[in-house]
C-alpha cells in the first residue's frame, strides 16, 4: 500500500529539485523518494543502546515533580482548554 506525502516548497526550492531530477533523468517524485531513502540510510534513528543510556541519565536527575494524581489532573485540564 502506498501513501501520499505532500510537501510545500518555495518556488526556488522546487525549481532546484526539478533541475536535480532532470540532471538525474528522473521524475521529481522518483528523485524525492531516492533522496528520502538516502537520508534515512545516512541518518538512521538512534540505537536502542543510545536510547537506554538517555533514559538512565534522565532517571538520575532529581527534579521536583508532583505526585501522579496531580500530574494526571493537570494533563486532563490541558485537554479541555
CA distance 60 to 43: 28
Q: So where are the chain's domains?
A: 1-81
C-alpha cell read off for 22: 532532470
The pLDDT value given to residue 48 = 85
Per-residue pLDDT of the chain (81 residues; tens, 9 = 90+): 999 999 999 999 999 999 999 999 999 999 999 999 998 888 777 788 888 998 999 888 888 888 899 999 999 998 887
The pLDDT value given to residue 62 = 84
Whole-model pTM?
0.53
The pLDDT value given to residue 7 = 93
The CA-to-CA distance between both ends of the chain, in Å, stands at 37
Amino acid at each position: 500500500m502506498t501513501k501520499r506525502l505532500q510537501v510545500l516548497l518555495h518556488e526556488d526550492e522546487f525549481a532546484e529539485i526539478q533541475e536535480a531530477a532532470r540532471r538525474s533523468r528522473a521524475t521529481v517524485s522518483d528523485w524525492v523518494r531516492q533522496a528520502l531513502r538516502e537520508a534515512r540510510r545516512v541518518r538512521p534513528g538512534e540505537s536502542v543502546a543510545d536510547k537506554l543510556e538517555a533514559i538512565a541519565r534522565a532517571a538520575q536527575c532529581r527534579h521536583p515533580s508532583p505526585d501522579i494524581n496531580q500530574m494526571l489532573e493537570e494533563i486532563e485540564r490541558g485537554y479541555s482548554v
